[in-house]
Structure 1
Amino acid sequence: MTKSPCPPITDAGWPEEIADLRDGFAGQLNVYRTMAHHPALVKAWAPLRQHVVKDTALGLERSEIVILRTGVRLGSPYEWAHHVSRARKLGMSDARIAAVREMPEGEDGLIVRAVDALIDDKGLSPEQEEELAAAIGRTAVFDLIATVGFYSVLGYMLNTYRTPVDPAIAAELEAAPL
Structure 2
Amino acid sequence: MPLREREVVVLRTCARCGCEYEWGVHVMVFAERAELSPAEVTSLTCGSPDDPCWTAGREAMLIRMVDALHDSCDVDDEPWRSAQELLDERQLLDVLLLCGWYHAICFAARTARVDLEPGAPRFADITSA
Matched residue type, 2:7: E
Q: What are the ranges of 5 or more consecutive residues in structure 1 without an aligned counterpart?
A: 1-57
**Per-residue deviation at 1:90?**
2.3
Q: What are the ranges of 5 or more consecutive residues in structure 2 without an aligned counterpart?
A: none
Where does residue 79 of structure 1 map in the other structure?
22
The answer on whether the counterparts of 1:133 and 1:140 sit within 8 Å (CA) in structure 2 is: no
Specify the structure having the higher radius of gyration (Cα): 1
Secondary structure of the 1:146 match is helix
Is residue 41 of structure 2 the alignment partner of residue 97 of structure 1? yes
Secondary structure of the 1:90 match is coil
Q: How many residues align structurally?
A: 116
Secondary structure of the 2:32 match is helix
Secondary structure of the 1:166 match is coil
What is the CA deviation profile of residues 79-123 of structure 1, one whole-angstrom value per residue up to 9, with x for unaligned ones? 211121211222221111111121133332211111111111211
Distance 1:72 1:90 in 2: 17
Structure with more relative contact order (C-alpha pairs < 8 Å, separation 6 or more): 2
Distance 1:126 1:132 in 2: 10
**Per-residue deviation at 1:138?**
2.2
* Runs of 4+ in structure 1 over 4 Å off: none
Secondary structure of the 1:118 match is helix
The answer on whether the counterparts of 2:61 and 2:83 sit within 8 Å (CA) in structure 1 is: yes
The answer on whether the counterparts of 2:7 and 2:34 sit within 8 Å (CA) in structure 1 is: no
The 5 Å alignment of 1:146-161 reads: 146-161=97-112
The 5 Å alignment of 1:1-40 reads: none
Where does residue 70 of structure 1 map in the other structure?
13
Matched residue type, 1:139: R
**Per-residue deviation at 1:126?**
2.3
The answer on whether the counterparts of 1:88 and 1:94 sit within 8 Å (CA) in structure 2 is: no
Matched residue type, 2:68: A
Q: What is the aligned-residue identity percentage?
A: 28
TM-score (normalised: structure 1): 0.60
**Per-residue deviation at 1:72?**
1.1
Matched residue type, 2:114: T
What is the CA deviation profile of residues 144-172 of structure 1, one whole-angstrom value per residue up to 9, with x for unaligned ones? 000111000000000001111222x43xx
Secondary structure of the 1:67 match is helix
